[in-house]
Amino acid sequence: MITVFKRPHPLSDVSNTYCPGCTHGIVHRLVAEVIEELGAEGDTIGVAPVGCSVVAYNFFEFDVQQAAHGRAPAVATGIKRVHPDKLVFTYQGDGDLAAIGTAETVHAAARGENISIIFINNAIYGMTGGQMAPTSLVGQVTQTTPYGRKIENQGYPIKVSEMLSTIEGAAYIERVSVDSIPNIKKTKAAIKKAFECQLDKKGFSLVEVLSSCPTNWGMEPSEALKWLRENMIKQYPLGVYCDKR
Amino acid sequence: MAEKFLMKGNEAVAEAAIRSGCRYFFGYPITPQTELAAYMAKNMPKRGGVFLQAESEIAAINMVYGAAGAGARAMTGSSSPGISLKQEGISYIAGADLPCVIVNMARGGPGLGSIQGSQADYFQATKGGGHGDYHMLVFAPNSVQELVDMTARAFDKADEYRMPAMILGDGMLGQMMEPVEFFEPTEPDALPKKEWATDGTGMKRKKNIINSLYLESEILERLNIERYERYKRICEKEPLFEEINTEDAEIIIAAYGMSARIAASAADALRSEGVRVGIIRPITLWPFPSEIFARRAAYVKAFLCVEMSMGQMVEDVRLAVEGKCPVYFYGRTGGMTVEPDAVYKEVKRILELKTAGGI
C-alpha cells in the first residue's frame, strides 16, 4: 500500500478549535509540513500569540511558549538568544502583530533578530468576536466599525510587509494567500524559505498570510475566500517584498 | 580573605548576577539604575552572555519570559515607572511558573515622580502589581554587600520555587559605593537542568509548553491553589530578617533597606541615652517575617515603622502585630530621605505619649 496523504508528525493528532472554514488549520498544517521536511521538529520552539491561535500549543508536537498579547517577537527574541541554533518562530494575528505588538514586531526586524514570523492577516479580530483590526479594509463593516471603516475616523489599513521591507534588518518578507490551491502551495514555499533563511542565520523573516474569517466576516467559507481574493489581495498585493538570502 | 572591590550597588548586582550563572540581561535605560545596564553591556559579552537593550520595558520583561522559559537564568532591571510597565510580563511569568530576577532601584512616585530613592513600591512588589493571584519573592538589601548576597539567593530561590524574584532597592542603594566581597562564580552549565524548559524536544521527550492560559476555570483554580500551597511553604521557610537589641526593647523600629540603616543610627543615639529601643529589619518583604513581629508584640510597648513612603510596610507590621500594641508610622516621601534625627525625635515623642498614657 502506498501512503499518499498523512498527518505531518509535528501536527498533533487532535481536533483543532478553529471555526469551520477558518484557514488557520491550513496554515498550521503547512508549518508542520515544512518543519517535518526540514527535519527540525526536535529543534523547533514556537511562540503562540493572543488571538484565535492562542492555544496553538495544543496543535503542535514541538515545544511552544504562549506569549502575552503582541509580545511574541520579544518572547521569541529571549528564546533565540538562549538557543541560537534552534528554529524559533512566532505565529501571530493582525491585532497581535500590527496593533498592540507593533513595537515588538518593528524592533525585532530592526535588530535583524534571527526569528521567523508567520503573520495571519484576516483583517479582523477573530477571538473577541469581529472587531476592526489595523488591517481591516476601508469600508469594512466590523463590530466596532458598524458603519464601515472610515478614513476620517479610523485611518488607513497598515501594510505590514511593505512597512517591514524598508527595515534593513529584515532578510526575507513575502505576502501570500491561502485562498486557492496554487496560493496554498506558494504559502508553503514561502514558509519554507523563511525557515531556511533563519536556519542559514540570515536574519529576520516574515510571511504574511492573507486568510479568511468566515465567522466574523459573516460569510460562507467559499464566499469568504472569494471576498479575500477580490478585496484583500487588491489592498495587499501578493509577492516577495524583501529577499536578502 | 577574599578580595574586596569598591563598587556601586547597581554594578555589584550586575556582577553578582553574572557570577550566579545569569548570561541574559534585557533592559531599558532609566535613572537611577543605569549603571546596572551599563555594567551588563560591558561585561556580558566578555563572559559569554547577552546584553540586549530592548525597545521598551515591556519588551525587556517579555524577553526575560522567553529566555527563562527556554531554561536560562535571566534578569531585567529598572526603576519604578519602568517596573510598572513590566507588571503585565511579571504576572505572565508568575502564571507560567518561570524563575527570573527583576531589579527595582526604586524612585519617588507616583507617575514620573522623581529620580531620588524611594520605598513607595512596597505595595507593588509585595501585593501583586500585575493582575491575578500571585506573589514574587522580594528581597530588600540594605548594603552593597547584601545586594550581592541577595542577588545570588534570588536566583537560587527563583529556580527552587519556579517563580519570579525581585531585588527591591532604591536609588540611593543603587548609586552608593561600598566595599564588597564576591562568591565564587557558577558557570551556567553547572546549574541543574530544567526539565520543563522549552529547549527543543530533540525527539526524545514529549513537548514542553510554557503557558498561563487555562480556559477551564476548574483547572485554573486548582493550579492557583497549588501555587498558593507552594507560597505557604515559602512563608514558613524563607522569611529573612535582622534583629538588633530587641531582647529588652520597649519600643521596636521596623524598617527595611536604606531606612533601616538610617534608623539604626537613631537607635544607637537613643541607646546611648538609655532608651531601650530595638530594630527589626525585614530582608525578605515577601514572604514577610510576620512571626517575629508577633513574638515581639507580646512584650514591647509599641512599634514604629519607618519608611521612605507614605506608609506601606506598616500595614504588614500591623497585620502581624494584630493589635497587641500600637504601631506608629514615620515616613518621608517623593524621594526625600528619612533623617536619623527625625527618627530619634519620633521615638522620643512616642515614649512621651506613654508617660501621658498615650501608649
Chain A residue nearest residue B205, CA to CA: A42
Of B54, B200, B211, the CB nearest to A57: B211
Sheet holding A239-243, edge to edge: A239-243, A170-177, A204-210, A116-121, A87-93, A44-48, A63-66, B209-210
Nearest to B200 among A45, A67, A68 (CB): A45
The stretches of B20-115 forming alpha helices (DSSP H) are 34-43, 57-69, 80-85, 87-95
Query: Taking CB atoms and an 8 Å cutoff, what residues of chain B touch A76?
Result: 66
Q: Which domain holds residue B78?
A: 4-194+206-237
| Sequence-separated (6 or more) residues with CB below 8 Å from residue B324 | B294, B297, B298
Q: Is residue B201 part of a domain?
A: no
Distance from CA of B229 to the nearest CA of A (A): 25
CATH number at residue B346: 3.40.50.920
> What is the residue-averaged pLDDT of chain A?
97
Do B310 and B290 reside in the same domain of the chain?
Answer: yes
Tell me: do B10 and B91 sit in the same domain: yes
Contact A78 B202 (CB under 8 A): no
Same domain, B106 and B255: no
In Å, how far are A45, A97, A98, A205, B64 from A108, measured between CA atoms?
A: 17, 11, 13, 10, 15
pLDDT in tens, B86-99: 999 999 999 999 99
| Minimal C-alpha gap between B191 and chain A (Å) | 15
Residue with cell 540581561: B25
- The closest CB to that of B211, out of A66, A79, A106, belongs to A66
In a domain, A11, yes or no: no
- Cβ-contact B170, B181 below 8 angstroms: no
Q: Are residues B326 and B211 part of one domain?
A: no
Residue B278: DSSP 8-state: E
Q: Is residue A106 part of a domain?
A: yes
A19 inside domain: no
Yes or no, beta carbons of A83 and B56 under 8 Å apart: no
| Residue B147 falls inside a structural domain | yes
Number of domains in chain A: 1
Q: Quote the cell numbers at residue B272.
A: 546611648
DSSP reduced 3-state for B209: strand
* Domain identity same for B224 and B296: no
Question: Would you say residue B200 lies in a domain?
Answer: no
Q: How large is the angle between the packed helices B257-272 and B340-355, nearest 10 degrees?
A: 60
Q: Per the domain annotation, does B118 fall within a domain? A: yes
Which element (helix H / strand E) includes A240? strand A239-243
What CATH number did the domain enclosing B97 receive?
A: 3.40.50.970
Q: Looking at the structure, tell me whether residues B213 and B316 fall in a common domain.
A: no
* Interchain CB distance below 8 Å, A75 and B62: yes
B275 domain-assigned: yes
Closest-CA residue to B126 (of B312, B267, B251, B352):
B312
Q: Are strands B327-331 and B302-307 parallel, antiparallel or unpaired?
A: parallel
Task: With CB atoms and an 8 Å threshold, state whether B67 touches A47.
Answer: no
Whether B216 is in a domain gets the answer: yes
Taking 60 as the threshold, does the pLDDT of residue B52 lie above it? yes
The beta strand positions in A49-169, using DSSP E, are 63-66, 87-93, 116-121, 124-125, 131-132
Kindly tell me if the per-residue pLDDT of B358 is higher than 90. no
Considering the domain architecture, whether residues B46 and B179 belong to the same structural domain is answered as: yes
**Strand pairing class (A131-132; A124-125):** antiparallel
The pLDDT-based confidence of B354 (bands split at 50, 70, 90) is low
User: Strand pairing of A44-48 and B177-181?
Assistant: unpaired
Hey, what's the cell of B286? 515577601
- Residue-level pLDDT at B1: 62
**pLDDT surpassing 70 at residue B190:** yes
Nearest CB partner across the interface for A78, out of B58, B74, B88 = B74
Q: Is A127 within a domain? A: yes
Any domain includes B107: yes
Structurally, chain B folds into a number of domains equal to: 2
- Quick check: is B128 in a domain? yes
Same domain, B168 and B248: no
Do B293 and B227 reside in the same domain of the chain? no
**Average pLDDT of span A172-198:** 98
* ipTM score for this prediction: 0.97
The shortest CB-CB distance from A78 to any of B26, B55, B208 is to B26
Whether B181 and B254 share a structural domain? no
Inside any domain, residue A12:
no
- CATH number of the domain at A226, please: 3.40.50.970
Give the residue numbers in A contacting B (CB under 8 Å), as ranges.
41-45, 47, 54-55, 57, 60-68, 71, 74-83, 86, 103-104, 106-107
Strands B241-244 and B177-181: unpaired
pLDDT at A16 over 90: yes
CB contact under 8 A, B62 and A78: yes
Residue B81: phi and psi, rounded to 5, are -60, -35
Q: Which residues of A touch B73 (CB under 8 A)?
A: none
Name the pLDDT band for B2 (thresholds 50, 70, 90): confident
Q: Do B54 and A57 touch (CB under 8 A)?
A: no
pLDDT score at B29: 95
Asked whether the predicted pLDDT for residue B355 surpasses 80, the reply is: no
- Which of B50, B195, B209 to mutate: most A Cβ within 10 Å? B209
* Domain boundaries, position A149: 24-243
Same domain, B229 and B247: no
DSSP bridge pairs for A207: A118, A174
Q: Are residues B15 and B154 in the same domain?
A: yes
